[in-house]
A = this chain, B = another copy of it.
Amino acid sequence: MRFEVELQLNEKLFVKNPQATDFGRNLLKQSICLIDEIGFEKFTFRKVAQKLNTAEASVYRYFENKHHLLLYLTNWYWEWTHYMIDRKTLNLTDPKKKLEMAIHLIANSLQEEALTSYIDQKTLINIIIREGSKSYHIHDIDEENKDGLFLSYKELVEKVAGFINEYNPKFKYKKSLVSNVFEMANNQIYFAEHLPRLTDIKDNKDEFDELEKMIKYFVFTLIKK
């Protein structure tokens, strides 16, 4: 039997917790698959319902709309990354080592073991890279923020910023550097694959290792004591 972790996500993200039922877990699985395949703009609840051989209305019982579904997925990703960073830095004391591990997990998230059977992490990462930033680049950002829908991201950024603080408390731009590292990680991989003239990362098997190396170089050069 497999060890399955259920990440706790903000209740305002969903109407009914999709992790709690077979239908919900299936919905997540097929949604990830379909968004990856046709892109978030073309993705509809009707289409995913067809894939699941069910009615559109059933999908609305879990998520208010597709924006909330995407937000759910990005939150899942943030919580999962946070969980992995916690787990893998627990027994480390050297701030440099902690930071290196965090960067490794941010840049090279694919390498890690799967947490659940119903979320395909490889495909989820693809979605996060291409669609992730759409979950907060929205007109109603301030209202959604009030509902706490971005808390997971904030806490994740502050966690890693804490490592920088341990390493060199005098560095002035802890949070900006960390949030930028998250954005950069996704963007540079996207550019390597689709707009290679915008990056020095080459699109090959080692792209994630190259990225990790570059981010480490950037971060440690900037925060040098």
Contact = CB atoms under 8 A, between A and B. Distances in A.
A218 B222 contact: yes
Interface string A129-143: 011011011111110
A15 interface: no
A98 interface: no
Contacts of A136: 194-195
A175 B197 CA distance: 8
B153 A198 contact: yes
A197 B154 contact: yes
Contacts of A180: 180, 184, 187-188
Contacts of A158: 197
Contact of A200 (B173, B199, B201, B217): B173
A48 to B, nearest CB: 16
Contacts of A157: 197-198
Contacts of A172: 200, 217
B184 A139 contact: no
Contacts of A42: 139
Interface string A174-208: 11100110011001101100110111110000000
A197 B136 CA distance: 14
Nearest to A131: B137
A164 to B, nearest CB: 11
Contacts of A197: 154, 157-158, 175
A140 B195 contact: no
A169 interface: no
Given A38-B139, A153-B198, A191 B217 contact: no
Given A184-B180, A221-B222, A138 B214 contact: no
A145 interface: yes
Contacts of A140: 39
A90 B67 CA distance: 46
- A-B pairs with lowest CB-CB distance, top 4: A39-B139, A179-B198, A154-B197, A141-B194
